[in-house]
Amino acid sequence: MNRNKTEKLSNAAQTKHNKSLVLQSVQAEDGIPMFEICNRTGLSTATVSRLVESLIKEQFLVEHEPIAVPKGRPMKSVFFNSKGFYMIGIDLGTTYIRGVLTDLSAEIIKEVEVVTESRKDPQYVLNKVIQVIHNLANTNLIDPAKIIGVGMAVPGIINHNTGIVEYSPAFNWRDIELKRFMEKGIPYPVYFDNVSRAMALGELTYGTGKSFNDLICINVGYGIGAGIVIGKQLFYGTDGMAGEFGHIPVAGDGKILCSCGKNNCLTAYASGDAIVQRARLRLNDFPLSVLNAIQSEDLDTKLVAEAAAEGDLLAQAVFNEAIEYLGMAIAGLMNIFNPQAIILGGGITLNGPIFWDKLKLVITENVFDHRSTKYQILPASHPGQTAMYGALALVFREIISLNLSLPK
Ligand SMILES: [Zn+2]
Confidence (pLDDT) at 57: 95
Strands 164-168 and 157-159: antiparallel
Interval between CA 174 and ligand 1 midpoint (Å)? 15
**What is the whole-number distance in angstroms between the Cα of residue 248 and the centre of ligand 1?**
7
Residue 222 Cα to ligand 1 middle (Å):
13
Contact 326, 252 (CB under 8 A): no
Residue 4 is predicted with a pLDDT of: 57
CA dist 263 and 267 (Å) reads: 9
Report CA(258)–ligand 1 centroid distance (Å): 5
Residue 29 has a pLDDT of 87
Tell me how far the alpha carbon of residue 156 lies from the centroid of ligand 1, in angstroms.
Answer: 11
62 CA → ligand 1 middle, Å: 48
Query: What CATH architecture is 210-380?
Result: 2-Layer Sandwich (3.30)
Ligand 1 centroid vs 244 CA: distance in angstroms?
A: 9
Domain ranges in the chain are 2-80, 86-202+387-401, 210-380
Q: Strands 215-220, 341-345: parallel, antiparallel or unpaired by DSSP?
A: parallel
pLDDT at 70: 57
Centre of ligand 1 to C-alpha 166, Å, is 14
Is there a shared CATH topology between the 2-80 domain and the 210-380 domain? Answer: no
CA of residue 17 to ligand 1 center, whole Å: 40
Low-confidence ranges of the chain (pLDDT < 50): 1
Please state which CATH number belongs to domain 2-80: 1.10.10.10
95 Cα–ligand 1 center, Å: 21
Ligand 1 centre from 264 Cα, in Å?
7
Ligand 1 centre distance from Cα of residue 404 (Å): 35
How many Å lie between the centroid of ligand 1 and the Cα of residue 247? 4
Task: Reduce the secondary structure of the chain to three states and give it as a string.
Answer: CHHHHHHHHHHHHHHHHHHHHHHHHHHHCCCEEHHHHHHHHCCCHHHHHHHHHHHHHCCCEEEECCCCCCCCCCCCEEEECCCCCEEEEEEECCCEEEEEEEECCCCEEEEEEEECCCCCCHHHHHHHHHHHHHHHHCCCCCCHHHEEEEEEEECCEEECCCCEEEEECCCCEEEECHHHHHHHHCCCCEEEEEHHHHHHHHHHHHCHHHHCCCEEEEEECCCEEEEEEECCEECCCCCCCCCCHHHCECCCCCCCCCCCCCCCECHHHHCHHHHHHHHHHCHHHCCCCHHHHCCHHHCCHHHHHHHHHCCCHHHHHHHHHHHHHHHHHHHHHHHHHCCCEEEEECHHHHCCHHHHHHHHHHHHHHCCCCCCCCCEEEECCCCCCHHHHHHHHHHHHHHHHCCCCCCC
pLDDT digits over 267-281, tens only?
A: 999 999 999 999 999
CA–centroid distance, 396 to ligand 1, in Å, is: 31
pLDDT of residue 129: 98
Regarding pTM above 0.95, the answer is: no
Dist. CA 246 → ligand 1 center (Å): 6
- How far does the centroid of ligand 1 lie from the alpha carbon of residue 77, in Å? 50
CA atoms within 13 A on the CB side of 46: 0
What's the CA-to-centroid distance between 6 and ligand 1, angstroms?
Answer: 48
Q: What would be the CATH architecture of the domain defined by 86-202+387-401?
A: 2-Layer Sandwich (3.30)
The rounded distance, in Å, linking the Cα atoms of 155 and 65 is: 44
Give the CA radius of gyration of the chain. Answer: 23
Centre of ligand 1 to C-alpha 122, Å, is 22
Q: 331: which residues sit within 8 A by CB, 6+ positions away?
A: 362, 363, 365, 366, 367, 368
C-alpha 98 – ligand 1 centre gap (Å): 27
> Distance, CA 245 to ligand 1 centroid (Å)?
9
Question: What local confidence, expressed as pLDDT, does residue 363 receive?
Answer: 94
Residue 271 CA to ligand 1 centre (angstroms): 11
Q: How far is the CA of 315 from the centre of ligand 1 (A)?
A: 24
User: 326 C-alpha to center of ligand 1: Å?
Assistant: 14
How far does the centroid of ligand 1 lie from the alpha carbon of residue 266, in Å? 7
Write out pLDDT tens, residues 281-324. 999 999 999 999 998 889 999 999 999 999 999 999 999 999 99
pLDDT at 370: 65
Q: How far is the CA of 18 from the centre of ligand 1 (A)?
A: 43
What is the CA(149)–ligand 1 centre distance, in A?
33
